[in-house]
Structure 1
Amino acid sequence: MAVFEPLKPNRWQPTPLAAGPFAGLQGGAVASLLTAEVEALAEKRKWGTAIASSAWFLRPTPMTELRTKLSVLTEGGRVSVIDNTLWPANEDQPCATVRVTLSRERAVEISGFTEPAGEAADPTRFPVRTRRAAHGRPWFMDAMEAREGDGVAWFRMNHAIIDGEGSLSKLPLSSLLGSADWTHGIARPLQDVVADPNPNLTVQLFRQPEGRWVGIRAEARWRPAGGLGVGSGIVCDTHGEIGRVSMSVILVPFPRQTKPQPAAGLASASN
């Protein structure tokens, strides 16, 4: 099962694996869908490889039929920039949008520069971490395997974001956005006190991931007096660093009568 099933061009039906921990879809799933559509067109349109994706979650995305629309800001040359926006199929107010930057790689020789040797990691030596959503039903965390150790949270997608032969390897940026979306929850300063949705998500890569394991070495900072925070982290694969992730955080107190068990530690109350 893919996280999103195609209905017709630019029309998608989210499966239960796209759900967030509370109501609506997980922000990382939404960002992954919008970026995956761009990556799927990249080879045909000669845009190059996706090196960055910035998502804005404008409002909760419901579990309903969705429609998307791509807009080319610039293409050709070495860099292309593509926007992709999502709406519920029968509504006019958008729920989310992404801006994807793609580049045609070129070999550049720099005298005296040598890339540092990476130390291979083996995520399977760490215990599996499982988290249930507050609603008790399947959700986006069930689409991946999660492990944690030595200060790094490791994720491996076991379901494609969208169907397609080899989509987990041919759509590398969109396949790691869901993992990156947990960043602020991995290192959240306090547990069981507030929800901490992120209204945006940015991932930038300087190297394409090798293999399906994605690691996040995360940190988070909160300012409860202002109700704001940030999450950031180093993104890596089993061979070393590949990029960075960052997001803003909005602190939302739980209702007094109900304090849901958060999908925290590896996961948080995201969009």
Structure 2
Amino acid sequence: MSYFERTGGHSFRATEHVGGAWNTAEQHIAPAFGLLAHVVECDRNARRDDGLVIGRLSYDILGVLPIGDMDVEVTVLRPGRTIELVEAVLSHGGRAAVRLRAWLMTPGATDTLEGTALPRIAAPDEMKPWDAAEVWPGGFIESAEIRRDQVEPGRASFWVRSPIPLLTDEKVSDLAHAVRLFDISNGMTVRADPKAVAFPNLDLTAHLFRQPNGDWVGFDTTVSFGADGIGLTSSVLHDTYGPIGTMSQILTVRPST
């Protein structure tokens, strides 16, 4: 079983494994983000063969998605020989639900310049397993294996992987395989009990200076709430070889009383 099944050239069906954490009858948006990254790469591969890589993924969540059928439309907003801006829109029943804008960039030989001052987090086998189902319901959370070092509410480093593939019988890149887990980060070190305070994210933007490798995706995450109903989840992204980029999510913070 996978998170999605392809039903046509531009259409897909979600499975029960994408069940959401805020509402189990709706999709957790994380797998859909991975699906859009995959669709952008498929469109790139159909148009050109020069190996442009995705350096930025910027998602806007326009509405909720039921667990059902979806369509995707891809548009090249800024064509170019070495740089492209591509948009992919995921819709259900004719209503747009997620919009991705991705910058694709020509790779180059900069191995002699490679380096970062971003600190590494402990390896997955150095962290204790954590059962996120103690905090969150839903098929997606149930599908994830998590190792976590919690510092305090709203501050933790953790690793996530899942045995559930993005698509049935369809090869996806290491990037799309990783991106299907990116949006889990907002719920892995909560500042407040989600039964008392809702804090869904409206977007997700990831900047990558290296393409991810392997099954584990690592996060060094801080969650902040402001005094006016706005929050921010900020993460440094890792694979088991070290940091690969940064990610942020803007939150709407809504106490239940």
- State TM-score, norm by structure 1: 0.81
Mean CA deviation greater in 213-222 or 33-42:
33-42
Distance 1:53 1:114, change over 3 A: closer
Q: Is the 8 A contact 2:203 2:250 kept in 1?
A: yes
Deviations 1:157-180 (A, max 9, x none): 32221235542xx2x332223432
Q: 1:196 deviation in Å? A: 0.8
- Asked if residue 53 in structure 1 is aligned to residue 57 in structure 2, the reply is yes
Deviations 1:167-212 (A, max 9, x none): 2xx2x33222343213233343223430110010111110011221
CA distance in 1, matches of 2:127, 2:136: 27
The alpha-carbon distance between structure 1 residues 185 and 120, as it changes in their structure 2 partners (threshold 3 A), is closer
Deviation track 1:115-174 (CA, whole Å, cap 9, x = no partner) reads: 3698695303423222338895x511233321113742101132221235542xx2x332
Deviation at 1:99, TM superposition (A): 0.8
Are positions 1:72 and 2:72 aligned together? no
Work out the CA distance in 1 between the residues paired with 2:167 and 2:205: 20
Output the CA distance in 1 between the equivalents of 2:111 and 2:88.
Answer: 34
Partner Cα distance (2:225, 2:234) in 1: 12
Contact 1:20 1:140 in 2 (8 A): yes
Change (3 A) 1:103 1:133: farther
Structure 2 contact 77–86 (Cα < 8 Å) conserved: yes
What does residue 89 of structure 2 align with?
85
Q: How far off its partner does 1:57 sit?
A: 0.7
CA displacement, residues 209-236 of structure 1 (integer Å, 9 cap, x when unaligned): 122111000011102x411111111001
The answer for unaligned runs of 5 or more in structure 1 is 257-271
Which amino acid counterpart does residue 55 of structure 2 have in structure 1? I
Give the stretch that moved more between structures: 31-40 or 56-65: 31-40
The count of residues paired between Structure 1 and Structure 2 equals 246
Query: Where do 1:1-271 residues align within 5 Å?
Result: 1-21=1-21, 22=23, 23-46=25-48, 48-88=52-92, 91-108=93-110, 113=113, 115=115, 121-132=122-133, 139-149=139-149, 151-164=156-169, 166-167=171-172, 170=173, 172-192=174-194, 193-223=196-226, 225-254=227-256
Call closer, same or farther: CA 1:232–1:31 in 2, change over 3 Å. Answer: same
Q: Which has the higher strand share?
A: 2
Percent identity between matched residues is 24
What displacement does 1:76 show?
A: 3.2
Task: Indicate how the Cα distance of structure 1 residues 146 and 59 shifts in structure 2: closer, same or farther if over 3 A, else same.
Answer: same
Tell me how far apart the structure 1 counterparts of residues 57 and 247 of structure 2 sit (CA, whole Å).
10
Q: State the distance in 1 between where 2:121 and 2:191 align.
A: 29
CA deviation vs aligned residue, 1:70-100 (integer Å, no higher than 9, x gap): 1111233211111111111xx3321111111
1:26 to 1:119, Cα distance in 2 relative to 1, 3 A: closer
**Residues 54-77 of structure 1: CA deviation (Å, up to 9, x unaligned):** 111111111121111111112332
Instruction: Give structure 1 regions of 4+ aligned residues with deviation exceeding 4 angstroms.
Output: 116-121, 133-136
Give the alignment's Cα RMSD to 1 decimal: 2.6
**Maintained 8 Å contact 1:121/1:239:** no
User: 2-side partners of 1:211 and 1:205: how far apart?
Assistant: 15
Worse overlay, 225-234 or 100-109: 100-109
Distance 1:135 1:64, change over 3 A: farther
**TM-score, structure 2 length as denominator?**
0.85
Gaps of 5+ in 2: 151-155
Distance in 2, matches of 1:215 and 1:81, equals 27
SS of residue paired to 1:175: helix
